[in-house]
Amino acid sequence: MRMMELSGKSGNSKIFIGESISHLASLCTSEKTVIVTDRNVRKFHGEKFPDFPVLEVGLGEESKTLPAVQALYGKFMEMELERGSMVIGIGGGIVCDISGFAASTYLRGMRLGLVPTTLIAQADAAIGGKNGVNLGGYKNLVGTIRHPEFVLCDFSFLSTLPEKERRCGFAEVIKHAAIADATLFSYLEGNLQEAMELKRSVIEKVIHDSILVKTEIVAKDEYEKGERRKLNFGHTVGHAIEKCCCLPHGEAVAIGMVAEAQLSVSRKLLSEKDAGRLMRLLADAGLPAKAKATPSGLLDAMRKDKKRESEIVKMALLEGIGKCSIQDVKMGEIEAVLSGICIAGKGGGSP
C-alpha cells in the first residue's frame, strides 16, 4: 500500500493506493455516515461495504444530472445529516462526481470520502477535487472543486470491471503519461498486456504514477487557471465526441487524443514519430481512433461545450511524449484535423 497527500485551499486529501476496503470503516469517523453507490457496484461488491446506510444513484451520463443530486439532498434531509456527517462515494467516475457534488453543496459542505471502483476513477476522477454534473446534455457544466478527505483505491474492485470499462481506464492513464511522464509512457509500452490483466505489481505502479501526475499538476493549479488545463488533453474534442456519438468517456477521450495529437503535429510541436507512438499505444489498449461523426457536428458540439462563445480555445497540445503546453487554437484549425478522426455513420467508434 502506498499513501500520497494532496493539499490545497479546498481541503486536504489522503490517497491510499492499494488499500483494502476493509480499512474503510476506520476512516469514517463521523457519527452519521452514508454510502452513495450504484447498483452494479453494489451487486458485485456490496457485501464488502461497512455497515452504513446505502443510497443508489442511476447509471450512465444521463444520471449525472441535477435531479440525481436533488434526490440525494432529499435522502440527506430524511436522514437528518449534519455538516459533520460523512458521505462516502463508492463507485466509478459518475458516482464520485455526483456524490462529491452533493456532499460539497448540501449544508454548504459535508465531509466526503471516495472509494473509486473503476480504473478511470482510481487513476483520475476521484483525485483532484473536481466534481460536477451535466446540464442540458453538456458535460460537467455545474460543479465545485473540493478535495475529499480521503481516496481509498482497492484494486480488487477492478477484477469485476467489464473488459470495455477496463480498456476505457487506460485512456486516462495514457493521457497522464503522454502529457507529463515519458517514463510511465515507455513502461506502458513495455507492460501494457500485464497492466490490462491487472497483474498486481504492474497495476499498482501504473495507478500510482498516474495519480502522481495528476496530484503534481493539481497542487500547482488547483482552480485551473493554467497548468491544470494540461489534464484536458484529448477532452476538447473528446467531450464533443462523447456528446455526438454516445461513446463512453474513455473511448471518446482516446479519439480526442488522436485528433489533438494531429493538431500538435500540424503546429510542428510534436513529431510524426511520437504521434505514432501515442496512436499505437491507444490501439494496443483496444481503444478506438475514429468516431462515426461529421466534423461540422463535432465543431458545433465544441462551440456549445461549457457555453463557449469565443472562436479561440485554450488547448493542451503535446510537445513530445511526456511534455505538453497550453496553446490558443482557432476553431478553424481544429476543424482541419477533425476529418482525420471522422468516419461515415451515426454514433459509435472504430479502430
DSSP 92-104: SHHHHHHHHHHHH
Among 19, 97, 209, 274, binds ligand NAD (CB under 6 A): 97
Whole-number minimum distance, CB 268 to ligand NAD, in Å?
A: 30
Q: Does 251 bind ligand NAD (CB under 6 A)?
A: no
Contacts (CB under 6 A) with ligand NAD, residues 112-141: 117-118, 120-121, 124-125, 128, 130-131, 139-140
Distance CA 55, CA 48 (A): 15
Distance CA 312, CA 333 (A): 10
* Between 147 and 249, CB nearer to ligand NAD: 249
The stretch near ligand NAD (CB under 6 A) out of 40-48, 75-83, 101-109, 192-200 is 40-48
| Region of residue 214 (phi > 0: left; psi between -120 and 50: alpha; otherwise: beta) | alpha
Report the chain's C-alpha Rg in angstroms: 19
* Between 116 and 297, CB nearer to ligand NAD: 116
Residue least distant from ligand NAD (Cβ): 93
* Between 144 and 294, CB nearer to ligand NAD: 144
The set of residues, in sequence order, having a beta carbon less than 8 Å from that of 336 and lying 6+ positions away, is 266
Q: Does 161 bind ligand NAD (CB under 6 A)?
A: yes
CB half-sphere exposure, 109, CA atoms < 13 A: 11
Strands 11-17 and 2-8: antiparallel
Q: Which x/- pattern over 41-70 shows residues binding ligand NAD (rule: CB under 6 A)? A: x--x--------------x-x--x------
Residue 18: helix, strand or coil by DSSP? coil
DSSP 178-215: HHH-HHHHHHHHHHHHHHHTT-HHHHHHHHHHHHHHHH
Q: Are 171 and 253 in contact (CB under 8 A)?
A: yes
* Between 33 and 104, CB nearer to ligand NAD: 104
Whole-number minimum distance, CB 138 to ligand NAD, in Å?
A: 11
Whole-number minimum distance, CB 336 to ligand NAD, in Å?
A: 27
* Between 11 and 92, CB nearer to ligand NAD: 92
Whole-number minimum distance, CB 196 to ligand NAD, in Å?
A: 15
Distance CA 186, CA 192 (A): 10
Q: Does 181 bind ligand NAD (CB under 6 A)?
A: no
How many residues form the binding site for ligand NAD (CB under 6 A)?
31
* Between 66 and 343, CB nearer to ligand NAD: 66
Q: Are 258 and 46 in contact (CB under 8 A)?
A: no
Whole-number minimum distance, CB 146 to ligand NAD, in Å?
A: 11
The set of residues, in sequence order, having a beta carbon less than 8 Å from that of 69 and lying 6+ positions away, is 98, 101, 102, 105, 133
The set of residues, in sequence order, having a beta carbon less than 8 Å from that of 75 and lying 6+ positions away, is 34, 55
Whole-number minimum distance, CB 137 to ligand NAD, in Å?
A: 13
Helix, strand, coil percentages in the chain from 3-state DSSP, rounded to 5:
55, 20, 25
Among 160, 193, 296, 350, binds ligand NAD (CB under 6 A): 160
* Between 145 and 270, CB nearer to ligand NAD: 145
The stretch near ligand NAD (CB under 6 A) out of 106-114, 160-168, 301-309, 328-336 is 160-168
* List of residues contacting ligand NAD (CB under 6 A): 38, 40-41, 44, 59, 61, 64, 91-95, 97, 117-118, 120-121, 124-125, 128, 130-131, 139-140, 157, 160-161, 165, 168, 249-250
